[in-house]
Chain A
Amino acid sequence: QLQLQESGPGLVKPSETLSLTCSVSGDSMSNSNYYWGWVRQPPGKGLEWIGNIYYTGNTYYNPSLKSRVTISIDKSKNQFSLKLISVTAADTAVYYCARVRPTPGFIPFDYWGQGTLVTVSS
């Protein structure tokens, strides 16, 4: 059974860098059928796509976050990571990692981590 688990600091100071890692078990991240993605959800609000990464290292980012986001992959550890620089209170959210099952016609996120709350505050 595929499992994803987010890890990282729950509190980040304004202007600093948010860093999270997603550990994947039950599937190889070298599987060419999937992307691996990050989605966030501010308290009481909806889901916002952050970006996806393919096992080749190709990345796709939300245009509204692209200038601040880097997603990377470490296939040897079966992990992928998120870095978001210059954070503000608006970046406070539950951050989810997920497996993405892309096809030409649709792009479902079929497995999700439990999510981790990151608060931006001094």
Chain B
Amino acid sequence: SSELTQDPAVSVALGQTVRITCQGDSLRSYYASWYHQKAGQAPVLVIYGQNNRPSGIPDRFSGSSSGNTASLTITGAQAEDEADYYCNSRDTTGNRVIFGGGTKLTVL
């Protein structure tokens, strides 16, 4: 399969915990990577692999995976976390790249 499915929109109260999910057959074989994208800006990698954060990404961001679902968890969401979030992985052949459709996170 060459698709990754994300919920279009999720909301969270300031300081609470939110989980954003990404589903697809390829995730049974490959880990997802996660990006946030604020309006008018380029995407920024926040999680890759099993649960790795690039330098400069706060530790409130974490990743996990089970079966065909990958999850990005933000523990103690901040106002600056309001953004679009995208997942990506290899497709089931391993040779191509696929992106999820994105989730718009609103911090209330």
Do these two chains interact? yes
Q: Answer whether residue B101 sits at the interface, using C-beta atoms and an 8 A cutoff.
A: yes
List the B side residues contacting A115 at CB < 8 Å.
Answer: 42
Decide if the interface of chain A is mainly helix, strand, loop or mixed: loop
In the complex, chain B residues 39-78 whose Cβ is within 8 Å of any chain A Cβ: 41-45, 48-49, 54
A118, B6: Cα distance in complex, Å: 27
B96 near A63: Cβ-Cβ < 8 Å? yes
**Interface-side segment among A17-25, A47-55, A73-81:** A47-55
A63, B2: Cα distance in complex, Å: 10
Which of A60, A108, A112 gathers the greatest number of chain B CB atoms within 10 Å?
A: A108
Task: Give the B interface residue count (CB, 8 A).
Answer: 26
B96 near A108: Cβ-Cβ < 8 Å? no
CB distance from B49 to the nearest CB of A (A): 5
B49 near A106: Cβ-Cβ < 8 Å? yes
List the A side residues contacting B43 at CB < 8 Å.
Answer: 39, 47, 96, 109, 112
B35 near A62: Cβ-Cβ < 8 Å? no
Q: Answer whether residue B24 sits at the interface, using C-beta atoms and an 8 A cutoff.
A: no
Given the interface contacts A106-B49, A107-B90, A109-B35, does A49 sit within 8 Å of B97 by beta carbon?
A: yes
The 10 closest A-B pairs by CB, nearest first: A108-B48, A108-B33, A106-B31, A112-B42, A49-B97, A47-B99, A46-B102, A46-B101, A106-B49, A110-B45
CB distance from A89 to the nearest CB of B (A): 21
In the complex, chain A residues 80-106 whose Cβ is within 8 Å of any chain B Cβ: 96, 100-101, 103, 105-106
